Amino acid sequence: MPDQSPALAFERVTKAYGATIAVDAVSLEIAGGSFVALVGTSGSGKSTLLKTINRLVEPSDGRVLLDGTDVTHGPAPALRRRVGYVFQNIGLFPHMTIAENIAIGLRIAGRGDEADVGALLDLVDLPRGIAGRLPDALSGGQRQRVGIARALAPGAKLLLLDEAFGALDPVTRDALGTRIRELHDRLGLTTILVTHDMAEALLLADRVLVMKAGRIVADATPAALVAGEGGDDAQALVQVPRAQADRLRALVA
Ligand code: ADP
């Protein structure tokens, strides 16, 4: 079922680095088509958990299933064609044009003509005219959009975003988040967004998971979190945007 939104399951996934337990026996199911935010303070294990999906991290124990199949079955490159991965300061090849950078993703999938590159630029709202430029000639936000186009180029339906908007100014960050949500809905993706920004998680996701010391300590919808549910750890994070919203409202009162 390559065209359906992929589902994920984590079965007691653990990752230890020496004495540090980065991920601690996480069991979790993520339905195909959902947009899940993984939130938590720095060092809580978000990125490590995310990377067990595309095998950038190998669990010390437990396993990850993608559409019911253990991700360690089969070669990693085949898995990574199905799993788009975008991280902060996405590494575009500096001496290759934008078109060439995107075409790498297409060539991996055995395609790669000009029309495909154009369509991918359209997808992320970039003008086709930038195809011949080098990455240096683009803004940070434009480069991240190219990274998203490249990640989706092989036809990936699972999108992993690891603080992908982290280095961007707030206006660009907000616009790109909204665009990603639109793409998620239109292409029928399953998306996992790692962020330390609870406001971003609440505004973009269908489901928010809070991580602390390698464990999932809250699992709730944005509406439930805003209504005060999800427990103390989640509410400590929700309190930040809530207090900001209150202070802004007080300015106009
Ligand atoms: P987050 O994404 O929430 O900031 P990480 O998953 O990056 O957290 O890290 C979780 C914990 O694992 C931290 O204590 C971090 O220092 C540790 N860690 C992550 N990667 C490594 C690594 N390659 N080697 C050793 N420790 C690591």
Domain ranges of the chain: 8-251
pTM over cut 0.85: yes
Q: Could you give the CA distance from residue 201 to residue 224 in angstroms, rounded to a whole number?
A: 13
* Per-residue pLDDT at 220: 98
Say yes or no: CB of residue 46 within 6 Å of ligand 1.
yes
> How are strands ordered across the β-sheet holding 20-30?
20-30, 8-17, 61-66, 69-70
Q: Could you give the CA distance from residue 79 to residue 85 in angstroms, rounded to a whole number?
A: 11
* Per-residue pLDDT at 165: 85
Say yes or no: CB of residue 48 within 6 Å of ligand 1.
yes
Whose C-alpha lies nearest to ligand 1, atom 23? 17
Whose C-alpha lies nearest to ligand 1, atom 16? 43
Q: Chain-wide mean pLDDT for the chain?
A: 92
Whose C-alpha lies nearest to ligand 1, atom 15? 43
Per-residue pLDDT tens for 188-216? 999 999 999 999 999 999 999 999 999 99
| pLDDT at 249 > cutoff 90 | yes
Token pair of 183, please?
């793409």
Per-residue pLDDT tens for 63-101? 999 999 999 999 998 899 899 999 887 789 999 999 999
Residues in the chain: 253
Helix (H) or strand (E) holding 252: helix 232-252
Q: Which residues contact 121 (CB under 8 A, 6 or more apart)?
A: 98, 102, 127, 128, 130, 131, 149
* Per-residue pLDDT at 1: 39
Per-residue pLDDT tens for 103-115? 887 766 555 566 6
Alpha helices in 23-128 (DSSP H): 46-51, 76-82, 98-108, 114-123
Q: Give distance in angstroms: CA of 248 to centre of ligand 1.
A: 35
The answer to whether the beta carbons of residues 190 and 5 sit under 8 Å apart is yes
Q: Could you give the CA distance from residue 86 to residue 167 in angstroms, rounded to a whole number?
A: 13
Scanning the structure block, which residue is given the tokens 């809905």? 185
Per-residue pLDDT tens for 136-162? 999 988 999 999 999 988 889 999 999
Whose C-alpha lies nearest to ligand 1, atom 5? 45
The shares of helix, strand and coil residues in the chain, as percent rounded to the nearest 5, are 40, 25, 35
Q: For 8-251, CATH number?
A: 3.40.50.300
The answer to whether the beta carbons of residues 53 and 47 sit under 8 Å apart is no
Q: Report the first-to-last Cα separation within the chain, whole angstroms.
A: 54
Distance, CA of 228 to chain centre = 25
